[in-house]
């Protein structure tokens, strides 16, 4: 065994080695991403600059000093944004913060009938990394949705990475990051950004968990660093189920279906209704409204390939269909949704009422818009403060308490063949004059 | 798009196809496990029986009707167990249930200043699969720790798989399963059991999440089915950090270090103290007590290779070392642990007091003994009711509320280039006579 003394020279290094020591074997990993991760671990900032020069084609080679986007650059970018847009971002940020504050759980502590004190406490992660995709997929709303829960949870440090293709900054993304309380922003992306967040470089201190969407390289890199740091789940294509009665305006239902479809050719929009004539009117509206959309091609591809209209005989059937689909987003557009709300067990987020389209939740509702896709709402939840805190359970027991519960522990440890376990309890029982 | 009507023939099948439809590509997966998963998906029970015959060497070929362990077999097995052992199991089960009931969170619902009603509700998973290793690693305490939180969470169906090498049942495991409320038990193991739980066969209905430890095949199979179902994290080797002052009995500290070391050659036991002479006495006790242990070889290997004793100058250093280590188990054996408890942010579970060894938590403490290993307590938590419930957030908004928050949503949707999103909100504003 190692013996370390903090007063001795070399203690810090020896302790570092202890902390870093890996106690398991390797596992098969995907080659190109593995190579990038290894290179960033080995060469740090220099590797980050090389990959950025190669993939993001900035006008000038990137120097390590310029990896971090400066406060002046953020000021300039933010200053270029229309005030009405900044106001809208602020409305969203305020509402997201309010909801996530309400979501924070309380600690637990109680004395039980055997004389033990038991507890569970929640503590924040020290540091979180936020990946933000570059180019067109850089949504400021997603920056708010990922960063604000971390800040509300009490995370001390939020480091963000966003690639800047061609060297171009995304002003709205930077403004959202500032508003959300992001501590540091780096102009890097891809697997190299994930490596920097997970393992650190000269410039970037490592984090404990990495969240945020990204391309296939980013997803694979997150998968590979998982275990060393935490990651969020890999999101699939988005989907909505709308349960609507015939009293709705067909155009409203149609545009809500299309709001989902315009995300992505792989998105899925499903209407469930009890009225075939109403379903037909919605389908007509969809065809008409499709032609008005700038993203018509994408929305049409999604609707043609994955769109669906389900007509049920009785509403109770609808609730069961929703439970089978376990949709990411569920809109309930019914005269009275109490029965539906009680019967539906599996959905990422529910939007209730004829005036509450899912797009409200994407921006200003307050609850998170990062939600479980592809039927995973059967077992998974949306992003929340729970992603940025963790539980520590604790037990406090004195001689009296151990006298009550110790003998059962000794019996079970012996039955499992773990004699040191049994002895560790039996020695306490002996010290208090009790028999195991 | 598809149009389905529940009154039409073929609705059930068409809906099934919709539910099952995969909307993404493949990913590289490890070959032999992939082959087993595919075979179980294709051939169902027949494949399960073939693999069980090949790997578990039962005295008779296994028939599909015998996959499930019958109530009579469980009766017989349970009947063979000493009453004192059953009593000890009951004490453990009662205390685990009590703690996990206290852990259940409350739902959230509030009206906000903009007139929206926001909420978050917790619902249980429908069905959970519990994997239990066969042979020597079949610990009844782990069955309690995995199954009871699921039952407390409200999971309707708990299906357990346990391989039975040579056809031998493990009576204590079956008794623990019955006590914990497991619904069904199957005598299968390995990747084939994971496949059966994830995808289902003629005999086994699929589940939504799979928990429990297993060998490398089981871990890889869980990794491969992840996404289709939820999984728990893959546990690494176990560890304990003991922070102890010189007022402790060195034998007590030593046996607690050894209780960890006896699990596994890869286990790690670390003592942190402020007194070098006390550290030396503990090290002597370890050497002496090692010779008394049936599992001496394992414990000695762990202690020699990974054991450590850290002596600090000031206690405040100790708290920071613990935070760096983020240990699975932490024992605080101090005259007053209030300062330590407040300063330590990262630990899976904490055991407080000179009479509260970690082995209490393994069996009868109440909190879960499935805990984050290998420094993952920086971002991860132990098993709990939270593994068996999920959150659905919801928003309810009428015309008035949408009038207040809708315009900001329209502004942001337009800035992100998502016109159908903007239109879905704008149409509601128009319907209420407001401008976006």
How far is Cα B345 from Cα A125, in angstroms, rounded to an integer? 9
What's the gap in Å between the CA of A63 and the closest CA on chain B?
A: 31
CA dist B398 and A219 (Å) reads: 39
Residue B10 banded pLDDT, cuts 50, 70, 90: confident
pLDDT at B114 over 80: yes
Question: A191-200, A208-217, B184-193: which range is least confident on average?
Answer: A208-217
- Predicted confidence at residue B25, as pLDDT, reads 37
User: Which of A229-243, B24-38, B77-91 shows the highest mean pLDDT?
Assistant: B77-91
Is A322 part of any domain?
Answer: yes
> Given CB atoms, is A399 within the 8 Å cutoff of chain B?
yes
pLDDT at B24 over 60: no
Highest mean pLDDT among A9-13, A166-170, B13-17, B89-93: B89-93
Domain shared by A405 and A295, yes or no: no
Q: Are residues A119 and A219 in the same domain?
A: yes
Tell me how far the alpha carbon of residue B366 is from its chain's centroid. 15
pLDDT at B137: 67
Please report residues of A whose CB lies closer than 8 A to that of B368: 393
Identify whether residues B160 and B56 lie together within a single domain: yes
Q: Are residues B32 and B126 in the same domain?
A: yes
**Residue A201 belongs to domain with CATH number:** 3.40.50.1980
Per-residue pLDDT tens over the stretch A215-225: 888 988 998 89
Q: Which of A9-13, A96-100, B332-336 is predicted least confidently?
A: A9-13
Question: pLDDT tens across A126-157, in order?
Answer: 999 999 998 766 799 999 999 999 999 999 99
Asked if A105 is an interface residue toward chain B (Cβ–Cβ < 8 A), one would say yes
Decide if pLDDT at A21 tops 70.
Answer: no
Q: How many percent of chain A have pLDDT more than 70?
A: 95
Q: Are A64 and A100 contained in the same domain?
A: yes
pLDDT digits (tens, 9 = 90+) for B130-152: 999 987 667 999 999 999 999 99
Q: Name the closest residue on chain A to residue B403, using Cα atoms.
A: A355
- For A329, residues 6+ apart whose C-beta sits below 8 A from its C-beta are A238, A239, A240, A241, A260, A347, A348, A349, A351, A358, A361, A371
pLDDT reading at B235 higher than 80: no
B89: in domain: yes
In a domain, B46, yes or no: yes
Distance from CA of B63 to the nearest CA of A (A): 31
Residue B377 touches partner A, C-beta closer than 8 Å:
yes
In order of A118, A401, B180, the CA distances from B103 in angstroms are 11, 21, 17
pLDDT score recorded for residue B26: 39
**Active-site residue (options: A58, A100, A252, A329):** A329
Measuring CA to CA, which residue among B212, B235, B57 is closest to residue B146? B212
What is the domain range of residue B163? 28-104+121-231
Per-residue pLDDT tens over the stretch A278-301: 999 999 999 999 999 999 999 999
In a domain, A131, yes or no: yes
> Is the predicted pLDDT of residue A26 greater than 60, yes or no?
no
Q: Specify the pLDDT at position A236.
A: 79
- Tell me if chain A has a CB within 8 Å of the CB of B396: yes
Pairing of β A268-273 and β A349-352:
unpaired
Q: DSSP code of B74?
A: H
Pick from B85, B91, B192, B182: nearest CA to B143: B182
A18: pLDDT confidence band, cut at 50, 70 and 90?
Answer: low
Is the residue at A5 inside a domain? no
Residues of B in contact with A402 (CB under 8 A): 355-356, 360
pLDDT at B127: 98
For chain B, the straight-line distance linking the first and the last C-alpha, in angstroms and rounded, comes to 31
Co-location of B267 and B227 in the same domain: no
Round the average pLDDT of chain A to a whole number and report it: 93
In the prediction, which pLDDT does A24 show?
Answer: 40
- State whether B303 and B359 are in the same domain: yes
pLDDT at B325: 92
pLDDT band of A29, cuts 50, 70, 90 = very low
B166 and B300, same domain (yes or no): no
Q: How near does any CA of chain B get to the CA of A160, in Å?
A: 18
Q: How many Cα atoms within 13 Å fall on the side-chain side of residue B416?
A: 28
Q: Residue B20 has what pLDDT?
A: 57
Task: Nearest chain A residue to B387 by CA: give it.
Answer: A379
Q: Check pLDDT > 60 for residue B46.
A: yes
> What are residue A229's DSSP bridge partners?
A226
Q: In this structure, are A370 and A224 located in the same domain?
A: no
Q: Region B321-344: what's the mean pLDDT? A: 96
State the pLDDT at residue A436.
55
pLDDT at A28 over 60: no
- Bigger pLDDT: B16 or B133? B133
With contact defined as beta carbons under 8 Å apart, do B375 and B84 qualify?
Answer: no
- Whether residues A288 and A332 fall in one domain: yes
B294's torsion region: left (phi>0), alpha (psi -120 to 50) or beta? alpha
Render B128-141 in DSSP notation, one character per residue: EEEE---GGG--HH
Contact B259 A421 (CB under 8 A): yes
Residue where a domain terminates, one of A231, A262, A284: A231
**Two structure tokens written together for A348:** 């990422």
d(CA A81, CA A96) in angstroms, rounded, equals: 21
Number of structural domains in chain A: 3
Structural domain contains residue B54: yes
pLDDT tier at B16 (50, 70, 90 boundaries)? low
Q: What is the pLDDT of residue A12?
A: 76
Q: What is the ipTM of this complex?
A: 0.92
Q: Is A19 domain-assigned? A: no
Q: What is the DSSP string of A73-124?
A: HHHHHHHTS-HHHHHHHHHHHHHHHHHHHHHPPPPEEEE-TTS-EEEEEEEE
Q: Is residue B86 part of a domain?
A: yes
Q: Are the beta carbons of A255 and B420 separated by less than 8 Å?
A: yes
Residue B154 phi, psi dihedral angles, 5° rounding: 100, 15
Regarding whether A115 and A70 lie in a shared domain, the answer is yes
**A329 belongs to the catalytic site:** yes
Q: Which of B139, B324, B355 sits opposite A428 (nearest CB)?
A: B355
Q: Which of B18, B92, B347 is opposite residue A308, by nearest beta carbon?
A: B18
Same domain, B319 and B374: yes
Q: Is the confidence at residue B234, as pLDDT, over 90? A: no
Residue A22 confidence class, pLDDT cut points 50, 70, 90:
low
| Among A206, A231, A256, residue at a domain's last position | A231
| Residue B59, min C-alpha distance to chain A (Å) | 26
Question: Considering only residues 203 to 232 of chain A, which have any Cβ-Cβ distance to chain B shorter than 8 Å?
Answer: 208-209, 227, 229-230
* Mean pLDDT of all residues in B303-328: 93
B 48-77 near A (Cβ less than 8 A): none
Per the CB < 8 A criterion, the answer to whether B239 and B267 are in contact is yes
Q: Do A252 and B424 touch (CB under 8 A)?
A: yes
- % pLDDT > 90, chain A: 84
Q: Which residues pair with B351 in a beta bridge?
A: A395, B331
Last residue of a domain, one of A168, A198, A231: A231
């Amino acid at each position: 065994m190692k013996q370390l003394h903090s007063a001795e020279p070399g203690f810090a290094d020896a302790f570092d080695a202890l902390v870093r020591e890996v106690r398991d074997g390797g596992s098969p990993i995907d080659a190109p991403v593995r190579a990038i991760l290894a290179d960033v671990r080995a060469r740090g900032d220099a590797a980050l600059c090389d990959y950025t020069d190669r993939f993001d084609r900035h006008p000038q080679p990137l120097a390590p000093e310029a990896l971090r986007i400066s406060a002046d650059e953020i000021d300039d970018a933010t200053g270029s944004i229309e005030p009405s847009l900044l106001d809208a971002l602020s409305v969203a940020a305020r509402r997201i913060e309010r909801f996530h504050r309400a979501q924070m759980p309380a600690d637990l502590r109680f004395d039980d009938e055997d004389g033990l004190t038991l507890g569970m406490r929640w503590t924040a992660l020290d540091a979180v990394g936020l990946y933000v995709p570059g180019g067109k997929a850089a949504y400021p709303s997603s920056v708010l949705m990922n960063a604000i829960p971390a800040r509300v949870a009490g995370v001390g440090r939020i480091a963000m990475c966003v690639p800047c293709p061609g060297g171009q900054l995304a002003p709205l993304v930077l403004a959202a990051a500032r508003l959300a309380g992001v501590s540091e922003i780096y102009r890097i992306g891809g697997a190299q950004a994930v490596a920097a967040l997970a393992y650190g470089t000269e410039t970037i201190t490592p984090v404990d968990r990495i969240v945020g969407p990204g391309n296939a390289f980013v997803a694979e890199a997150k998968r590979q660093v998982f275990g060393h740091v935490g990651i969020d789940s890999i999101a699939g294509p988005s989907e909505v189920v709308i349960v609507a009665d015939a009293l709705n305006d067909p155009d409203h239902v149609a545009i809500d279906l299309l709001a989902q479809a315009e995300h992505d050719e792989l998105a899925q929009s499903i209407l469930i209704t009890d009225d075939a004539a109403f379903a037909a009117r919605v389908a007509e509206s969809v065809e008409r409204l499709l032609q008005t959309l700038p993203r018509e091609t994408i929305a049409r591809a999604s609707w043609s390939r994955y769109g669906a209209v389900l007509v049920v005989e009785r509403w109770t059937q609808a609730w069961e269909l929703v439970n089978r689909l376990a949709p990411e987003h569920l809109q309930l557009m019914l005269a009275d949704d109490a029965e539906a709300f009680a019967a539906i067990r599996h959905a990422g987020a529910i939007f209730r009422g004829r005036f509450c389209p899912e797009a409200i939740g994407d921006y200003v509702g307050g609850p998170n818009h990062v939600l479980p896709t592809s039927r995973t709402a059967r077992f998974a939840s949306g992003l929340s403060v729970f992603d940025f805190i963790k539980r520590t359970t604790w037990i406090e027991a004195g001689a009296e308490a151990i006298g009550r519960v110790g003998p059962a522990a000794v019996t079970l440890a012996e039955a499992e063949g773990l004699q040191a376990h049994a002895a560790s309890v039996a020695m306490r029982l002996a010290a208090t004059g009790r028999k195991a």
